């Protein structure tokens, strides 16, 4: 093996190692940025606006609990032909109720703190869009 080939292999090896290190640093910086973007507003709310922070955390907890209850109820009754229609009836009542609660909560949040209300409205719109259009059913039957 010539010295030139050996030097090329060594340089390529170090280049790969530095590239991997650079990718790890970029991923770590991205994770730190995302963590900061999530934690800093929560910390600021907890320190400066305790009632709003409490309402947000309680709302998130209630939403998560409601989602888990709905999911468990739906999975239990999906395979049972006697209760399959009951899950559909619950969905007909629960989905509009959850959307109405989301609209009300987003409105309250928007009027108390527009900086938090706008992202909450976007999340609500995205959730409603996924519910309406992302379930695999076609709503445009005529086309």
The tokens describing 92, both together, are 């007909």
- Asked if 99 and 141 sit in the same domain, the reply is yes
From first to last of the 143 residues of the chain, give the pLDDT tens digit.
788 888 888 888 888 889 999 999 999 999 999 999 989 988 998 999 888 888 888 888 887 877 777 777 666 656 655 555 555 666 677 777 777 888 888 888 778 877 777 888 888 877 777 766 665 555 455 54
First to last CA, the chain: 68
Pair (82, 113) in one structural domain: yes
> Same structural domain for residues 78 and 29?
no
74 and 142 part of one domain:
yes
Looking at residue 73, what is its pLDDT? 67
Helix or strand run (H / E) with residue 11:
helix 3-48
DSSP letters, 47-112, are HH-HHHHHHHHHHHHHHHHHHHHHHHHHHHHSS-TTTHHHHHHHHHHHHHHHHHHHHHHHHHHHHH
Q: What's the distance, CA 67 to chain centroid?
A: 13
Q: What's residue 119's pLDDT?
A: 82
Range of the domain at 123: 49-143
Instruction: Write down the pLDDT at residue 136.
Output: 57
DSSP state of 113: -
139 and 82 within one domain: yes
Distance, in Å, from the CA atom of 70 to the CA atom of 93, rounded to the nearest integer, reads 12
């Amino acid at each position: 093996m010539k010295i030139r080939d050996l030097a090329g292999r060594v340089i390529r090896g170090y280049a790969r190692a530095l590239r991997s290190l650079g990718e790890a640093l970029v991923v770590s910086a991205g994770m730190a940025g995302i963590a900061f973007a999530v934690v800093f507003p929560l910390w600021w709310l907890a320190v400066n606006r305790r009632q709003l922070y409490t309402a947000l955390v309680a709302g998130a907890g209630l939403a998560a609990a409601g989602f888990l209850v709905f999911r468990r109820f739906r999975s239990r009754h999906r395979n049972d032909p006697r209760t399959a229609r009951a899950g559909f009836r619950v969905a007909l009542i629960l989905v509009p109720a959850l959307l109405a609660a989301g609209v009300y909560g987003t409105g309250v949040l928007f009027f108390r703190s527009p900086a938090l209300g706008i992202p909450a409205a976007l999340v609500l719109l995205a959730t409603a869009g996924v519910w309406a259009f992302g379930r695999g059913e076609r709503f445009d039957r005529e086309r």
